[in-house]
Structure 1
């Protein structure tokens, strides 16, 4: 065991951690429970990082901006990574994206963008989200048995983001392709060479589409429109430049699309796994908000992350952390921590507790959290109302993904739709 893994004064038990082991995505909880009990801050050699599995430790890492940075440039191995060489089209987007900005620039851009993502601003999108959900459920109704991941979860977020940006009519599919390509580009190193060419083409076409949409909106501003809000912010004193505007759209896609896809799938799965919760939601639809929070807490789909990088040598939980080392907060473990949540291993949609760090914390709390929650509440509430007899056909299957428990097939029989 290397000298930075453990404090010499302690005799920690040997713990195995492999988030890519067979069966981990289906049920990571036995492995995470062992980590929390035996090695809550553990150096994972394969990942070149510390994994943090308890809630309080995770909260410490996420909220302490003086000792921990979200900028990957602060990682000791940052120079050997990066997908930009594989997909150069993403280089400018990534360089100006919220995920890559230094502390001062991040605070500046976030201050300018935040008004577009307040609860009040997000609530104005309710009619558009509801219309999108209704249209997609209408198309599902005649099919009877569907893969909810493809038919439901993947279709709604991309359509909603396109609607938010008011992508011109006739370009919706092009934008959906761009959305999927940007999300996939994060894992370019895992793609086969023949997959990169179409991905790059879709990203190039999407960048042109979004750039043209930004310029059109500059000429013809619209009321209650996120792009207009961002453009008008650009044209006042402290401003966003064109590259930042484009990068913000990319950040919105990366942060708002894939995460929401997983949220929808895991909400459907858990609801159908627990018939008593399903029955309760049908009689008390106001519990839909609780459902979303409890799924985020009880069965979180984030396998690895969020990540932070140590800005100095320090001690954390008895472990010696060196400057430049990565720490990954295992949010799925932290939210099942028995020390932080009463009956943490019980799925309870009456819990009425926020999932807290599911969307990060502090200065880097997810800008799109309000939007993700609203989409989840509207989508699940409408789904349950429209298909009260739906049932799980078989257990879901999972596909490979470095950061997420990626549900690929969730086969559901919709039953008879309600009148």
Structure 2
């Protein structure tokens, strides 16, 4: 398998020109990732939407002859969650946690999320400069998901470090097996403590389901806790970082949003479309030959669906590279599509609404402390966001 796509720092920092070329010239394209995994990369919106909901593409780990995750599964207890399963197991696992993430239940979290955000903003007041990712964007979603699951917030630095290593695996980053082993050990210990002293949190509820109803295996329980911790903060960290970067590089939109906070929900949808925090959906395996855009992917091959490329497809979005607060019909794919549509989308939107409103209100003059071209973006084709965002407050 050969690839015209070169995974260089220039690509990580700005993949959009490459994706535009692929959409035009090779919309379904064979790629060898830096970690050696071979995939077929799908880049056009129409093809991506079909592929995301295609039952012929399996999410189950171990399906097909060439099935390996974009992040290389390194431990069975971390690969039994709903994102790594097909129906009926996927359906069963999703039902266990879906009720926690309904719009109504999430809205009940608004006062607490507001308190957490206000405290973080308060810690920044009086400073001339800050690093927005580490000083704000990381902490808000981590604190929220820790409280929701019942994870001691003092442990956040550890699992933040482990998840950062694991999501960089597609870029060939080192230390993935060690990070996975450490994370598994932590989760097993936490589950044991919760089993001995249950509380009114989601992890205790999942343990009770496993122990009383026998509907979760031990590996499924550990894996679901891992997924909720990982997905519960990584995506929102980058949504906040990507959104603030976008505003600070679009001063007219920045001024307009400060003047009219009612536009924040629309702005969030444009942030999601323009700079999706998830660059590529977690991998699938073709269980039979599948054809997208006139290209047939053989059975057993891995398929990577580029959300970032799809959401700038000019066939779907007029002026796709433009940040447009008035964009109508913004049906982006940043949260996926079909049965694997992001379960935590309501929570991510709530956290983002509070984050952007609070930051714009508290620091109306916030601007980048370095030239935009010097902002480095995270390597890897799974997560898309700035490594750091130095700002003048």
Using structure 2 for the length normalisation, give the TM-score: 0.88
Separation in structure 1 between the aligned mates of residue 367 and residue 54 of structure 2, nearest angstrom: 44
Task: Using the TM superposition, give the Cα deviation of residue 132 of structure 1 relative to its aligned residue in structure 2, in angstroms.
Answer: 1.1
Deviations 1:130-188 (A, max 9, x none): 11111111112233201111111111111111121233xxx322244224324433556
- Contact 2:274 2:321 (8 Å CA) reproduced: yes
Aligned 8 A contact 2:289 2:299 in 1: yes
Q: Summarize the Cα distance change of 1:312–1:296 in structure 2 as closer, same or farther, 3 Å threshold.
A: same
Does the 8 Å CA contact 2:166/2:179 hold for their aligned counterparts?
no
1:131 is matched with: 115
Structure 2 counterpart of 1:367, from 320, 324, 343: 343
1:71 paired to 2:52? no
Distance 1:241 1:75, change over 3 A: closer
Displacement of 1:278: 1.2
- The match for 1:118 is 102
User: Which protein has the larger Cα radius of gyration, Structure 1 or Structure 2?
Assistant: 1
2:78 to 82, 88, 93: 93
Q: Distance in 1 between matches of 2:69 and 2:232?
A: 27
Deviations 1:328-353 (A, max 9, x none): 11111110011111221210122254
Corresponding residue to 2:40 among 47, 50, 64 = 50
Aligned partner of 1:212 in structure 2 is 193
Q: How many residues align?
A: 386
RMSD over aligned Cα atoms: 2.8
Relative to structure 1, the CA distance from residue 343 to residue 382 in structure 2 (aligned partners, 3 Å threshold; closer, same or farther) is same
- Give the whole-Å Cα distance in 2 for the aligned partners of 1:84 and 1:337: 31
1:261 to 237, 243, 247: 237
Q: Distance in 1 between matches of 2:142 and 2:61?
A: 27
Shift of the alpha carbon at 1:402?
4.5
Partner of 1:29: 16
Residues 1:196 and 1:237: Cα distance change in structure 2 (over 3 Å): closer
Q: Does 1:403 align with 2:382?
A: yes
1:78 match: secondary structure: coil
Q: What per-residue deviation string (whole Å, max 9, x for no partner) do you get for residues 211-266 of structure 1?
A: 4235423xx5x3xx534654565577683355433322211112222111111110
The superposition leaves residues 95-139 of structure 1 with CA deviations (integer Å, 9 ceiling, x where unpaired) of: x32222342111111122211111111111111211111111111
Q: Which residues of 2 match residues 156-235 of structure 1 at below 5 A? A: 156-167=140-151, 171-187=152-168, 190-192=172-174, 200-201=181-182, 203-213=184-194, 215-217=196-198, 220=199, 222=200, 225-227=201-203, 230=206
In structure 2, stretches of 5+ residues that fail to align are: none
Instruction: Report the counterpart of residue 265 of structure 2 in structure 1.
Output: 289
Q: Which residue of 2 aligns with 1:11?
A: none
Q: Distance in 2 between matches of 1:92 and 1:283?
A: 48
CA deviation map 1:62-103 (0-9, x unaligned): 1121x2112242243237997565xxxx43232x32222342
State TM-score, norm by structure 1: 0.83
Match of 2:228 among 248, 252, 255: 252
